Structure 1
């Protein structure tokens, strides 16, 4: 149902973006602004890629969102972003309830204790809870951005309102779409624009279960589930590491942080760190970054954000479960413990399976693009990881990828958005007991 519903949304979005009313009449020039009436629709590849990027809340584009699409086309993109972001949060929470029902009494109790969003039967509460959180965050961010754009950036009331609403929806849903040709580079020195967007990105990225639990037990950490502890600790740690990494590597780069003063450098290093893991906005030129920075960003994009949220990647919880498994093995211990609780052995296998299948998707996509394009490995790997992690950052090669490559990237975005969620649920609910066990043997490892 999850895959089918998103496929239907993708098909509708593609059809709407192919309408003549979605595309501007003539390409804009420096002397003439983009007209608002269209004479021809987008091609199928352009429409399906853009719709896939929007519904998968990725942000990769093959045409300029600000100048290629009319306000109607931009509204279609925003609607797809909301469907993709809020739909995933709702479906992921509902799948947690479904998983609890399929696990038996003990499994239900364990899942209810770990997810701790709503009662197992309260489906209506899930939907309303997601809608309230999303509506509140987006309304606050849109109000802040509207005032700032209206008073400081010379936008009229209508343009300021539309940009504020669009950026609020795109940021909370971690989509990375913006209504300027340079994304957010025009606001690189304005913290009152960048920080509200970043906070919305982080809020949407930690996931609805964590938000709901913090609302109930913010001051009582002892009642936090392992999921909440993993997501919050992982988010804080990754933000710190990625901020330091990007700042250190790009501090003197004349194409990125170099021309800025040190407060603006720190601001853009922090926002880039937050956006790299899932959102895909950029206030500095990603194509001008060092190759070492791209590789570090590959790692952060692959990890992603929290489960049951608007973030992509294999998820922080999967990454930290693998980390604790490795730590336990290095210590020679038998049980994997984290935050005062023991991890179920089935979770070990689920994390390994999700991570290795994600590696397989990324490596396959990278290999195919290496064969079919002339771009370098670092550029292609960055593009594929960005697509799988539903991030949306690009070194600038996306429009030049051949149509077959664009379709493959669209498929990778779809897999990256739905794959970890549906696969994780399927692994948790799939249980087949054998009536016998084979003899145990230990092969040589390493």
Structure 2
């Protein structure tokens, strides 16, 4: 075969592999959920219901149009659980491997910088990444499943089989930041139970930190040796958790539909749990339809920011957000360089952060405009819903089943875009980077 007649590879970019893999998983899940054995009622699930549920599961979102506990049989619930596991494991693995792939495509100087700043995926090997993600997943999910199983068995009179299934399902759903629950009211029946809410919160936080951060924390506990990525991720995680807990607790303190009936310790537990969920887990222990406007607005902001990179969380990502914060600081101070923890952030990273943030804002605004035209639902509920879908959170004020088939297709697109968009976009930008041999004359348009 002559060189000119050689066929081009089907996938010429890692972003294509990621998108195809998740689309294929969603398609297979849709077909399986349409089988009569997956649905508790007669016949199989309608196509739109199966598609929406499969996409929500594989994108580890948690939005639902039907009651997961009542609508799906145990085999159907097992399919949803498998999709959640595939989606969460796939995101952590693929994001880490893309970082590894990109580091090897860059120049030597950039590769050495990447190796110093993302030690767990910089110049490592593929097998180490896969083994690390697998071990972390198994250990965390197993430990949380045991704790929840014992609690469900001891306190809620579940049989050992039911308790074990509930414990396993919610442990996997929590670690993968999915938000699916096997109770008709999600977790509203456990609002005052710290033995259920705290293990789930811990699993959510661990999964949302991201594989590079987890591997570095396991390797060393000395903060002065941590990479810039780990420092930024941990700093923003603490700030958002503490600040979110304080804000939501105060906003809901006297609300009779949420925290009002509880004592101060119960209020603090409820505020903490609902500050963790926008990271982007999607469990709810109260009805967001009766939450205050302040809580909904604060939750929208937390959902949009999201969690850590190369983890199971969605959203803009905390590192993107804090890089933009340091950009503002540098501009206000008149600095030429963006500095964070005595490290100069590359202009390439700054441009990527701005691009991801602006496209994320455009996706949320665009989705909100479309759903506003398609439905007569309140604007605040629609904005909450679209942000939740794009950030793959899964929280809702209860309007998801009311949106209708066209609106559900919009949410499916937002979930898919939000889950894969940041990863594919950043990898595409990095691979397209090139140095021009010439520079255009400067221009200075007026700003502000």
TM-score, normalization by structure 2? 0.95
Residue correspondence of structure 1 range 13-92 to structure 2 within 5 A? 13-25=29-41, 39-92=42-95
Does structure 1 retain, via aligned residues, the 8 Å contact 2:59–2:392? Answer: yes
* 3-state DSSP of counterpart to 1:107: helix
Does structure 1 retain, via aligned residues, the 8 Å contact 2:204–2:281? Answer: yes
* 3-state DSSP of counterpart to 1:269: helix
Q: Select which of 413, 417, 420 maps to 2:419.
A: 417
1:74-116, CA deviations, whole angstroms, 9 ceiling, x for partnerless residues?
Answer: 0000000001101000000000011101112111111111111
* 3-state DSSP of counterpart to 1:337: strand
**1:105 has 2:121 as partner:** no
Deviation at residue 119 of structure 1 after TM alignment: 5.9
Q: Select which of 430, 433, 436 maps to 1:434.
A: 436
Give runs of ≥4 in structure 1 deviating > 6 Å.
none
Q: Select which of 368, 385, 388 maps to 1:386.
A: 388
Distance change (3 Å), C-alpha of 1:112 and 1:152: same
Which residue in the other structure is 2:25 paired with?
A: 9
Deviation at residue 293 of structure 1 after TM alignment: 1.1
Aligned residues: 432
Deviation at residue 138 of structure 1 after TM alignment: 0.4
In structure 1, distance between residues paired with 2:121 and 2:383? 39
Segments of structure 1 that go 5 or more residues without pairing to the other structure are: 26-38
Does structure 1 retain, via aligned residues, the 8 Å contact 2:133–2:211? Answer: yes
Which residue in the other structure is 2:303 paired with?
A: 301
Deviation at residue 240 of structure 1 after TM alignment: 0.9
In structure 1, distance between residues paired with 2:335 and 2:124? 38
Which residue in the other structure is 2:161 paired with?
A: 158
Does structure 1 retain, via aligned residues, the 8 Å contact 2:99–2:122? Answer: no
In structure 2, distance between residues paired with 1:421 and 1:54? 18
In structure 1, distance between residues paired with 2:79 and 2:98? 27
Which residue in the other structure is 1:283 paired with?
A: 285
Q: Select which of 227, 230, 235 maps to 1:228.
A: 230
Does structure 1 retain, via aligned residues, the 8 Å contact 2:371–2:410? Answer: no
In structure 2, distance between residues paired with 1:187 and 1:166? 16
Which residue in the other structure is 1:256 paired with?
A: 258
Which residue in the other structure is 1:189 paired with?
A: 192
**1:125 has 2:141 as partner:** no
Which residue in the other structure is 1:337 paired with?
A: 339
1:149-199, CA deviations, whole angstroms, 9 ceiling, x for partnerless residues?
Answer: 101111111110000000000000000001000111111111111100000
In structure 2, distance between residues paired with 1:145 and 1:261? 24
Which residue in the other structure is 2:275 paired with?
A: 273
In structure 1, distance between residues paired with 2:201 and 2:120? 24
Which residue in the other structure is 1:210 paired with?
A: 213
Distance change (3 Å), C-alpha of 1:83 and 1:92: same
In structure 2, distance between residues paired with 1:63 and 1:120? 45
In structure 1, distance between residues paired with 2:350 and 2:122? 26
1:248-276, CA deviations, whole angstroms, 9 ceiling, x for partnerless residues?
Answer: 11100011111111111100100100012
In structure 1, distance between residues paired with 2:46 and 2:115? 47
Deviation at residue 428 of structure 1 after TM alignment: 2.1
TM-score, normalization by structure 1? 0.96
Compute the RMSD of aligned alpha carbons: 0.9
1:402-424, CA deviations, whole angstroms, 9 ceiling, x for partnerless residues?
Answer: 10110110110011000011111
* 3-state DSSP of counterpart to 1:212: helix
Deviates more, 1:75-84 or 1:327-336: 327-336
In structure 1, distance between residues paired with 2:116 and 2:352? 19
Does structure 1 retain, via aligned residues, the 8 Å contact 2:389–2:418? Answer: yes
Does structure 1 retain, via aligned residues, the 8 Å contact 2:237–2:307? Answer: yes
Q: Select which of 123, 143, 147 maps to 1:144.
A: 147
Which residue in the other structure is 1:96 paired with?
A: 99
In structure 2, distance between residues paired with 1:376 and 1:45? 23
In structure 1, distance between residues paired with 2:436 and 2:340? 30
Deviation at residue 121 of structure 1 after TM alignment: 4.8
In structure 1, distance between residues paired with 2:98 and 2:117? 14
* 3-state DSSP of counterpart to 1:279: coil
